[in-house]
Amino acid sequence: MSQYGMTFAQKLIQHGEFAAAVEEASRHAAREPDSPEPFHDRARALSALGRYEEAVADYARAIELDRVEQILHDGEVDDGLFSTIIAWCQSLSSQEEKLAVLSRYEQLLPGGAHRQDAAEWALRFRGQLPTTWSKPRD
């Protein structure tokens, strides 16, 4: 993603060192506050740590900054944001909260590739779309 290769935070993420990646991405963001890359890196690491709300905020900042910079891979950002939002929703208990968080996907990426998926998840959260696969029993 970096025009010069992989960032240090990305290397840390690859090695599963998510807390260290958050710290490194934060330092990178302080040095280059107009670059979307450290915000995207930090969003990925935060998501892996289960800090979904913070991760979505960083995805939002990365998306905003990348409108100018155009250096992030759109599909990777889209997939990461959507996965983070779904994980966040699944960590919540109330249907209202789940639907509110889910709506953030379309707010942040109105032309995103997962619009149909988001609509199906909304139906699931409302109990209007049953799961169609069956989990094998132990």
18-35 residue pLDDT tens: 999 999 999 999 999 999
Q: Yes or no: say if 125 and 116 are a contact pair by the CB < 8 Å rule.
A: no
Specify the pTM.
0.90
- Please say if the pLDDT value at position 14 is more than 80: yes
- Percent of the chain, pLDDT > 90? 88
- Percent of the chain, pLDDT > 70? 91
DSSP 22-84: HHHHHHHHHH-TT-HHHHHHHHHHHHHTT-HHHHHHHHHHHHHHHHHH--S-HHHHHHHHHHH
Domains of the chain: 8-125 (1.25.40.10)
Mean per-residue pLDDT, 59-75: 96
Which pLDDT belongs to residue 135? 57
**Which tens digit of pLDDT belongs to each residue from 83-108?**
999 999 999 999 999 999 999 999 99
